Structure 1
Amino acid sequence: MTVENAGDSGADASSSSDSRPIVYDLAPNCTLDEVAEGNDYHAVVNGVVDYGVFVDISDVVSGLVHESNLDRSYDVGDRLVVRLDEIRDNGDVSFSVADIESYRTETVDHEPTITAITDLETGESVTIEGEVAQIKQTGGPTVFRIVDQSGIVACAAFEDAGVRAYPEVALDDVVRVTGTVEEHDDAAQIEVDGVDRLSGDAEAEARERIDTALTERAAPHAVDPFVEWPAFEPIHEELEEVARLLRRTVLEGRPIRVRHHADGDGMCAALPVQLALERFIERTHGDDGASRHLFKRLPSKAPFYEMEDVTRDLNFALEGRSRHGQKLPLLLMLDNGSTEEDVPAYRNLAHYDVPIAVVDHHHPDPEAVDPLLDAHVNPYLHGEDYRITTGMMCVELARMIDPSVTEELRHVPAVAGLSDRSKAEVMDEFVALAEREGYSRADLGAIGEALDYAAHWLRYSDGQSLVNDVLDVDCDDPARHEELVAFLSERAERDVDRQLDAVEPHVEHERLANDAHLYRIDLDRFAHRFTYPAPGKTTGQLHDRKVQETGDSVITIGYGPDFAVLRSDGVRLDIPQMVAELNEEVVGGGVSGGGHLVVGSIKFVKGMREEVIDSLVEKMADAAIDDDLSSTASIDD
């Protein structure tokens, strides 16, 4: 409230010693909540009748000055000072002409009652304040999705059919919206009367209020891990921060895009997180279809974020912003994303300030990737290794996001561990946990094989309903789950046997200087291509067979024209380090790749294959033998 003028006297109206009566000048949108009986107001005549005149003291507050209270005749548009005599229960207001000669004027700004989004009731006229999370132009109204400290709501503003209403309002602006609450598609929606952008102190106060509340609401649920595991404790703490980030992203109305490795462990990581996030999205947005627009999961065939994938993702995100007025998404990388090979894709996203979080168990390059990430969870960063699989981590992450998924996920860590051949000391506990839910160890292995088989044929599709049924997560038909797993795992076993029968006669064997067995197979010439199992899986299955046959230290190399897949048991390798050395030593080889320490893949230029592989074998021959070190993971590219 501020002083406007000094009325008749011309004296300094701002003087604290000015004792003259106050006449209030109301802002146009002031309501009855901002007036009081007995106060004097500047008014304008809006109608003349036989029994008096009607006056406006704001665009919203009007009333009658009865003829008995008039001091003279008035015409429409005349200005006068009136006293508010009575506000009746029905909202009618009566005035009289104020009998004052000298006064001071104070202006009254409209201070609406702000309604929290979760308190909206159908039929009410309300004012809300919040941040703009989405601006979608339809063939009719412009729909703004507004986030406040309590929730999110759609606000429909109509300018003209297909015409953008309030074009000055942009994503992330803080606005004050007035309108009437209606019901649309079983959810509250505000039919907009007005939208004002806030600035200055009002904007800052609103942002602080919303930020404080969202930070509190985003807090992850406190859940105890399925099994006690000291090695997992520091990782558990970091997963809490990722859960906080993902929950905050949902509360802000920002989409989430998940990329995961297309294998058993990758799916055991992605499906629980998807289930938890979709439930949290539906509950937060009060819309059964919200998750379709705010969540997308896609597999990645390569064990890193390829430029092809990031280009598709970025194009999809930019189209979503253009067509649907969405914010650019948060990218969540699962069972992938920790290596230097991911850096070019991340740098591409950096041009658009896309936030990125990674949960992975491949050997990381933190100096390369961490400056580009908002969160990075990896057991290697805590002195652990890939025996802690991404699926094990993401089951706990999902429970922190939404603990209602807990009962559906008790078997998933065991499937993830068996799929990636984890030798973690708690594997027996994970298997026992699954057995109490009715899954035998054989069942768990079959589920992992079925997931791998389905992932191979799905290629770049998420295959959500199919893989949910295979993993028995969010599956409403147990019989179908059992039939699918039996069918797919049997087909996988048949195809693996057929592939190994084809390659076995062509496997080359030699004993290295460190006494390790080396097996080589030219997959381009002697394996079935473009079918299951892929080169990585073929090499892994051949390797497992040779380990069983020899009971000794074994290295297996499956190679093609420009790639090689590596497996090792009982040999102390560091494949990422070997790749870095090969890239420097084999001039013109174009060597790249990585993976785990003893499981990985490399690429090179076709014409340098012999030099690259020969140099690789020399390094393997110099590696130390360690009978306790075994390959525990799988790469299916």
Structure 2
Amino acid sequence: MPISSDSNAGSADPDSSDGDRPVVYDLDPRCTFEDVEAGEQYHATVNGVVEYGVFVDLSEEVSGLVHESNLRGSYNRGDKLIVALEDVRENGDLAFAERRPDDYRTVAVEADTDVGSPALSDNIGESVRLAGEVVQIKQTGGPTVFHVRDGESVVPCAAFEDAGVRAYPDVDIEDLVQIRGRVEERNGGIQIEVESLESVTDDAGADLAERLETRTQEAAQPHDVEPFVEWDALDPLLDDLEGVARRLRRAVIEGRPIRMRHHADGDGIAASVPLAVALENFIEEVHADGDAARHLLKRLPSRAPYYEMEDVTRDLNHALESRERHGQKLPLLMMLDNGSTEEDVPAYQNLAHYDVPIVVIDHHHPDPEAVEGLVDDHVNPYLHDEDYRITTGMLCVELARMIDPDLTDDLTHVPAVAGLADRSEAEAMTDYLALAEQAGYKQEDLRDIGEALDYATHWLRYDDGDPLITDVLNVACDDRDRHEEIVDFLATRAERDVEEQLDAAMDHVEHEELDNGAHLYRLDVENAARRFTYPAPGKTTGTIHDRKVEETGDPVITIGYGPDFAVLRSDGVRLDIPTMVTELREEIPSGGVSGGGHLVVGSIKFVEGRREDVVDALVEKMADAEIDEELHSSAALPEDV
């Protein structure tokens, strides 16, 4: 119990040592039953007299009965006496017995304040009490740091033993505990320096668990925000997004790290950056540790249009190391603008051996049966009979606002960036463009942002690029002038490099007219374009395709191929690339065919020795495809395959 001072009250021998004299505790009026221990002596005040004894108050919160058999005198209301706690009845009533020590010292007991993260800064230097669940145990070279959640916040609690020695070794993650200690500032954050830590079990543990769950459910509730535009096609997806927002907020409250994987293109970045900023803000709100956001959230671009085994192996290894070295829980995995197809299944199966929840938000054509049972939430417009025109960036902007509505003014232009980057032809694009214009962004500005993101991401490769990418997208950027300057520089460089690439490549483009009347253009990007520079094969193929569509005005298919891959674009031809991949896999079993994407834009991988067979079979299928001049391709071509 926290002690503030003592006195010589009741002393019969002023020369006796304090250590030899019994203690009588004087409780602060705010003290609770948790501050009382059996056998200890306390100052009490009579608050009622009955035939069988007297009722006494030790504080405003602690009262009980001194039975007549345990009284040594007669008392009236308001009289003072000293008592000791003898018993706690099954119904919770307290039974005391009078004590009359000849020589004692009085020790004042301060009341602990029940406190969570939001109130810690108001209690610096104060003694507090925190009850909750241990979500992380980190052993440092000094103290053992227990991260404890109280249902709406997470507080680091430093327990000191000898340097590097594990304090309270019997306490594990997910244990319920009660901590008493003093609030101190450390390294830009706030922590409780532990004076005592006790496990809470049995009925008390059940009550605490119930309180934590109630608080967590309330704190995890997403904010109710109006979507940026009125769009019937978006409405059924909003309920799905609310469920994801609730899961993400709960993960933050429970101290679970979040590992975010997104496609490395304009739409993937427009989806991931707002969501990452919203989560960072919420982490800072919930966690008293000033470094929590850095440790609990990681945004990682994925070059391939699916979750590769290389990526999942890295992610899983990092998660297991963090659990071993830093006592973290295993993370929640967010897949953005990616993760809906059969190609993702092996990676998901690898994660299924561990406690790693998976959330997918995507607008590529999905294989829901393939990923069913492997993902915990799957948000995709195709699951509601819509299509890729509702981009992942549009969805994640609404999700970010459900987590942190204060970001709304910073995000008004982002859905339009996402839509232009993926060439969405949704009717709502008009409204999104108007919304962006109100925020000072013309359509050419938005296109430049998309090009700048594309260019920066190419050179960043596997790096998330913060804070450069946030400056380019102008989310959580504190300098609009710097944003405009960096966008102008990067977009201009991108345009220059694209023109130089096309100057070298266009003379090598092969053309033929298919039986269905479509123009087919082919380019060997391995031998007829500059390698290891911008633009990469996907961007090169897409730009050539756009030029040919504009030049001919007819249905056009473009294939850019290398030794073991091909990227595909189609306008005016009703292709179904995921189905074509499935058929090629069956027809050329030794071809190692895999891939996918949207219906009319995507990528295929194969073994180098069967390239000619795969590409020829692919062209045959394209020649049989139905002409539909109203059908246009998205720009979401993978740069690398």
- Partner residue of 2:238? 236
Q: Find the aligned partners of 2:372 and 2:250 in 1 and give their Cα distance.
A: 21
Query: What's the Cα RMSD here?
Result: 3.0
- Partner residue of 1:317? 319
In the alignment, structure 1 residue 256 sits paired with structure 2 residue 284:
no
Deviation at 1:93, TM superposition (A): 6.4
In the alignment, structure 1 residue 61 sits paired with structure 2 residue 40:
yes
Aligned residue for 2:313, secondary structure, equals helix
Residue identity opposite 1:283 in structure 2: E
Deviation at 1:504, TM superposition (A): 1.1
Deviations 1:529-575 (A, max 9, x none): 11111111111101111100110111111100000000000111110
Deviations 1:244-273 (A, max 9, x none): 111111111111111111111111011100
Deviation at 1:126, TM superposition (A): 3.8
Which of 385, 388, 398 aligns to 1:386? It is 388
Which of 165, 175, 178 aligns to 1:176? It is 178
Percent identity between matched residues is 63
Q: Find the aligned partners of 1:86 and 1:457 in 2 and give their Cα distance.
A: 87
Contact 2:24 2:82 survives alignment (8 Å): no
Q: Find the aligned partners of 1:60 and 1:260 in 2 and give their Cα distance.
A: 61
Residue identity opposite 2:41 in structure 1: S
- Partner residue of 1:41? none
- Partner residue of 1:220? 222
Deviation at 1:201, TM superposition (A): 3.0
Which of 260, 268, 280 aligns to 1:278? It is 280
- Partner residue of 2:99? none
Residue identity opposite 1:131 in structure 2: E
- Partner residue of 1:70? none
Residue identity opposite 2:174 in structure 1: D
Contact 2:542 2:635 survives alignment (8 Å): no
- Partner residue of 1:115? 114
Contact 2:333 2:357 survives alignment (8 Å): yes
Q: Find the aligned partners of 2:83 and 2:428 in 1 and give their Cα distance.
A: 81
In the alignment, structure 1 residue 377 sits paired with structure 2 residue 379:
yes
- Partner residue of 2:576? 574
Q: How does 1:126-275 map to 2 (within 5 A)?
A: 126-185=128-187, 187-275=189-277
Q: Find the aligned partners of 2:23 and 2:524 in 1 and give their Cα distance.
A: 94
Which of 541, 545, 549 aligns to 2:551? It is 549
Residue identity opposite 1:94 in structure 2: I
- Partner residue of 1:38? none
Contact 1:30 1:61 survives alignment (8 Å): no
Which of 78, 82, 104 aligns to 1:94? It is 82
Aligned residue for 1:146, secondary structure, equals strand
Residue identity opposite 2:82 in structure 1: S
Deviation at 1:587, TM superposition (A): 2.6
Residue identity opposite 2:340 in structure 1: S
Contact 1:299 1:460 survives alignment (8 Å): yes
Deviation at 1:370, TM superposition (A): 2.6
Deviations 1:6-28 (A, max 9, x none): xxxxxxxxxxxxxxxxxxxxxxx
CA pair 235-86 structure 1, distance change in 2 beyond 3 A: farther
CA pair 371-169 structure 1, distance change in 2 beyond 3 A: same
Q: Find the aligned partners of 1:85 and 1:294 in 2 and give their Cα distance.
A: 62
Deviation at 1:182, TM superposition (A): 3.4
Residue identity opposite 1:62 in structure 2: Q
Which of 260, 284, 299 aligns to 2:301? It is 299
Q: Find the aligned partners of 2:93 and 2:532 in 1 and give their Cα distance.
A: 70
Aligned residue for 1:371, secondary structure, equals coil
Aligned residue for 1:455, secondary structure, equals helix
Deviations 1:44-100 (A, max 9, x none): xxx9999x9847895783379xxxxxxxxxxxxxxxx9658899xxxx96369x9xx
Q: Find the aligned partners of 2:561 and 2:197 in 1 and give their Cα distance.
A: 63
Return 5+ residue gaps in structure 1 as ranges. Answer: 1-28, 32-46, 65-80, 99-103
Q: Find the aligned partners of 1:135 and 1:243 in 2 and give their Cα distance.
A: 26
Q: How does 1:607-622 map to 2 (within 5 A)?
A: 607-622=609-624
How many residue pairs match? The answer is 569
Deviation at 1:505, TM superposition (A): 1.1
In the alignment, structure 1 residue 434 sits paired with structure 2 residue 422:
no
Q: Find the aligned partners of 2:529 and 2:73 in 1 and give their Cα distance.
A: 96
Residue identity opposite 2:357 in structure 1: P
Aligned residue for 1:489, secondary structure, equals helix
Aligned residue for 1:588, secondary structure, equals helix
Contact 1:30 1:60 survives alignment (8 Å): no
- Partner residue of 1:71? none
Contact 1:130 1:175 survives alignment (8 Å): yes
Q: Find the aligned partners of 2:234 and 2:2 in 1 and give their Cα distance.
A: 59
Residue identity opposite 2:533 in structure 1: T
CA pair 532-595 structure 1, distance change in 2 beyond 3 A: same
CA pair 63-517 structure 1, distance change in 2 beyond 3 A: closer
Contact 2:452 2:487 survives alignment (8 Å): yes
Aligned residue for 1:526, secondary structure, equals coil
- Partner residue of 1:39? none
Q: How does 1:471-490 map to 2 (within 5 A)?
A: 471-490=473-492
Contact 2:151 2:253 survives alignment (8 Å): no
Aligned residue for 1:292, secondary structure, equals helix
Residue identity opposite 1:464 in structure 2: D
Contact 1:84 1:95 survives alignment (8 Å): no
Contact 2:190 2:290 survives alignment (8 Å): no
Deviation at 1:490, TM superposition (A): 1.1
Deviations 1:451-472 (A, max 9, x none): 0000000001111111111111
Aligned residue for 2:372, secondary structure, equals helix
Aligned residue for 1:134, secondary structure, equals strand
Residue identity opposite 1:318 in structure 2: L
Instruction: Give TM-score, length-normalised by structure 2.
Output: 0.83
Deviation at 1:525, TM superposition (A): 1.1
Contact 2:509 2:523 survives alignment (8 Å): yes
